[in-house]
């Protein structure tokens, strides 16, 4: 069965108190909108239509950045959820599959929940996602008659008996695309707010003899993000789920509450992660690695057996082969480190290729930037770089070469050579004692 996603993302998000559209605020390194798109992507949809409004250009750019296939339509006036869904009708004209309405500010709907909705759709015309709320508050109530959904009642319109119902409306709806379009076109704005409510389609469907039902999910999946406080709550919820998933997949987290993942972090089994580690966007760590305390990784790849940190920083483009060791206060950016190489102490390696089994001494810096351009450093296999070496790029060091401690390398070093480039030491007899005595007086 073909599937289309309609993701509502037009709201400004006044409670965010921000110039940024609400759906572009981030959890785990990705905008809320992308989380919603990722949930729906598990269904391998044929079409994805984003309904944008406030900050539409930025919303479209974010959607396209994640998926070139996303289509963006404009809701110039925000006249309710029914009106928003209606804006997608033209984009889905002639589409014969099912359509699922999602929300760009509701990032945690799980793929298995959407699959259950599609399964229910084979037996019913309209499927609504509901949840049993611990505190139903002012949520709309789903009024059931056996397995059939009779109606959705807004809290303000509900009777005392209906308010006692704990089964609440998430707003997520699934129906055949043309049926959804027909039902939405029949929605009226004859209400106090003068808006077109998507929830009204249930009553309209029933009046047409169509069937409706409810699929239930955990309340946590339906968390909507409308304020900075809720954004923080969402981050907490995401991290708790990501930590549990990592441990369930064979990763050791020594202090789980201190480890932070991004939406796309991948960690292989039997990897050990020590306390206070942050994984920013774009990190893959293979099996049997160790990420030591207080390290920060972003846009990098750590192969099997790697040991990183403590206090290491891997920046975008860091590509580490198997059994590489990166130690304390080391920063690596846009560099390939081959099998078994070591960069153990207080060094910066940027725009470089380090050969297998090479040892980078403490305080080594690849001087890669001349103020205008970045330049590349190539270090061969089995090289020994002495402590406090400055490698002024572009420069190449051949295999089994060596640099003396404190050397400034400005020319290529052939295979097997030792490079020495430092100022000759001169001792000035008694100068220090005389200087201190003069300063004290």
Cβ pair 298, 314 in contact under 8 A: yes
Which segments within 141-184 are labelled E, that is strand? Answer: 141-145, 148-153, 167-176
What pLDDT sits at residue 318? Answer: 98
pTM score = 0.92
User: What does the pLDDT look like over 380-391, one tens digit per residue?
Assistant: 999 999 999 999
What pLDDT sits at residue 72? Answer: 97
What pLDDT sits at residue 78? Answer: 87
Cβ neighbour number for residue 139 with a 10 Å cutoff: 21
Cα–Cα dist 392/375, whole Å: 9
What pLDDT sits at residue 101? Answer: 98
User: What does the pLDDT look like over 329-380, one tens digit per residue?
Assistant: 999 999 999 999 999 999 999 999 999 999 999 999 999 999 999 999 999 9
Per annotation, catalytic residue among 263, 345, 375, 376: 345
**CA distances, 181 to each of 82, 185, 400 (Å):** 10, 6, 71
- State the Cα angle at 8 between 214 and 88, rounded to 5°: 95
* 273 bridge partner residues: 253, 291
Cβ neighbour number for residue 156 with a 10 Å cutoff: 9
The β-bridge relationship of strands 290-291 and 296-297 is unpaired
Q: Strand, coil or helix: what is 328?
A: strand
What pLDDT sits at residue 191? Answer: 79
Active site residue 345: yes
**CA distances, 82 to each of 87, 189, 209, 344 (Å):** 9, 9, 20, 59
- Segments in the chain below pLDDT 50: none
What pLDDT sits at residue 441? Answer: 77
DSSP structure string for 244-285 = HHHHHTT-EESSGGG-B--TT-EE-TT-EE-SS-EE-SS-EE
What pLDDT sits at residue 424? Answer: 87
What pLDDT sits at residue 425? Answer: 86
Q: Kindly report the backbone phi and psi dihedral angles of residue 32, in degrees, each rounded to the nearest multiple of 5, phi listed first.
A: -50, -40
What pLDDT sits at residue 382? Answer: 98
What pLDDT sits at residue 440? Answer: 87
Q: Strand, coil or helix: what is 344?
A: strand
What pLDDT sits at residue 195? Answer: 87
Cα–Cα dist 139/130, whole Å: 11
Q: What is the DSSP letter of 311?
A: S
Domains and CATH numbers, the chain: 3-222 (3.90.550.10), 228-419 (2.160.10.10)
The β-bridge relationship of strands 30-31 and 26-27 is antiparallel
């Amino acid at each position: 069965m073909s599937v289309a996603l309609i993701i509502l993302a037009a709201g400004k998000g006044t409670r965010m108190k921000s110039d940024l559209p609400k759906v572009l605020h981030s959890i785990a390194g990705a905008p809320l909108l992308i989380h919603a798109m990722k949930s729906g992507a598990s269904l391998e949809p044929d079409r994805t239509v984003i309904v944008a409004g406030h900050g539409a250009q930025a919303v479209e750019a974010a959607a396209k950045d994640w998926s070139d296939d996303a289509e963006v339509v404009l809701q110039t006036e925000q006249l309710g959820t029914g009106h928003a869904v209606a804006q997608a009708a033209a984009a889905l004209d002639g589409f014969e599959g099912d359509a699922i309405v999602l929300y760009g500010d509701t990032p945690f709907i799980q793929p298995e929940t959407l699959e259950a909705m599609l399964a229910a759709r084979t037996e019913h015309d309209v499927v609504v996602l509901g949840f049993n709320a611990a505190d139903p508050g002012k949520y709309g109530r789903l009024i059931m008659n056996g397995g059939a959904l009779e109606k959705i009642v807004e809290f303000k319109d509900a009777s005392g008996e209906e308010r006692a119902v704990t089964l609440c409306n998430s707003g997520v709806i699934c129906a055949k695309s043309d049926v959804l379009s027909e039902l939405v076109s029949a929605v009226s704005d004859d209400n106090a707010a003068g808006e077109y409510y998507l929830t009204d389609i249930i009553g309209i469907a029933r009046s047409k003899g169509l069937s409706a039902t409810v699929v239930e999910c955990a309340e946590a999946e339906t968390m909507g993000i409308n304020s900075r406080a809720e954004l923080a709550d969402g981050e907490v919820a995401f991290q708790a789920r990501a930590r549990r998933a990592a441990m369930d997949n064979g990763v050791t987290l020594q202090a789980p509450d201190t480890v932070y993942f991004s939406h796309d972090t991948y960690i292989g089994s039997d990897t050990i992660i020590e306390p206070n580690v942050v994984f920013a966007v774009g990190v893959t760590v293979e099996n049997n690695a160790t990420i030591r305390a207080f390290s920060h990784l972003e846009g990098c790849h750590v192969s099997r057996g790697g040991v990183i940190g403590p206090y290491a920083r891997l920046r975008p483009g860091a590509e580490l082969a198997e059994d590489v060791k990166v130690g304390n206060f080391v920063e690596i950016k846009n560099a390939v480190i081959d099998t078994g190489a070591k960069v153990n102490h207080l060094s910066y390696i940027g725009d470089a290729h380090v050969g297998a089994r090479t040892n980078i001494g403490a305080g080594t810096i690849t001087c890669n930037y001349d103020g205008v351009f970045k330049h590349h450093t190539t270090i061969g296999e089995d090289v020994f770089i002495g402590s406090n070496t400055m490698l002024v790029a572009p420069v190449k060091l051949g295999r089994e070469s060596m640099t003396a401690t404190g050397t400034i390398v400005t020319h290529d070093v052939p295979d097997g050579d030792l490079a020495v480039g430092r100022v000759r030491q001169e001792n000035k007899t008694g100068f220090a004692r005389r200087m201190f005595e003069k300063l004290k007086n």
